[in-house]
Amino acid sequence: MARRRIQGVSRVRKLMRRMPDAARDELVQELNVTGAEIARLVRAKAPSRRGDLRDGLSHKVFPKTLRLQVGLLGSKAERTGLFYGRIQDLGRKAQIVRVIRHLGRGKVGRYLMKGGARVVDRKPYDMRVRAMAPKRFVTGRYPELRRQLVRNVRGIFVRALSTMTGVGDE
């Protein structure tokens, strides 16, 4: 997915770096509270057969950039069994895929010798994959939480910017 270039981002980032530590700490705390609330709603909307997907959903706040992430986060090892979460969230189109089935020991088939190495018989076949509508439990809009976050953060920004410009205490 291509990212659009937004004008003025560098100026906003410089402004964020100059923000007082007290205001930054206040923003991080508010992002943590709202992130936990969003993660709770995402978990509630997530489909669950075994509950693994719901357990894999979390939130993370980056204090330096004041960024909030909610979704399937963590190391690659932690997310290996949750690859289907992205498919369920964004959906998939109907398609026919080529699958190669490896027949090994104890199954129908035989080992072939190629260059001294044992190679398992492979049996390719076509498999039809049905379309799946997106569930949008992670990528969905959460307008009520967005409004709440904006309302809570607005006061913090007003105080921080007035402190930075020296206009607030007159």
Task: Report the range out of 15-24, 69-78, 97-106 with the highest average pLDDT.
Answer: 69-78
Query: Are 123 and 100 within 8 A, CB to CB?
Result: yes
| pTM > 0.85 | no
Please tell me the predicted confidence (pLDDT) of residue 49.
Answer: 81
Place of tokens 């009520």: 144
Please report which confidence band the pLDDT of residue 4 belongs to, taking 50, 70 and 90 as the band edges. low
* Rounded to 5°, angle at Cα 70 from 10 and 79: 115
Please tell me the predicted confidence (pLDDT) of residue 59.
Answer: 95
Please tell me the predicted confidence (pLDDT) of residue 12.
Answer: 75
Query: Are 73 and 58 within 8 A, CB to CB?
Result: yes
Bridge partners of 69, per DSSP, are 60
Round to whole Å and give the CA distance between 41 and 19.
Answer: 31
- Of 105 and 66, the structure prediction assigns the larger pLDDT to 66
Average pLDDT of span 41-55: 88
- The radius of gyration of the chain's CA atoms, rounded to the nearest angstrom, is 25
Residue pLDDT, tens place only, 119-158: 566 788 999 999 999 999 999 888 888 888 888 888 888 8
Place of tokens 């190669």: 100
Query: Are 54 and 46 within 8 A, CB to CB?
Result: yes
- Does position 65 have pLDDT exceeding 80, yes or no? yes
- Does position 96 have pLDDT exceeding 60, yes or no? yes
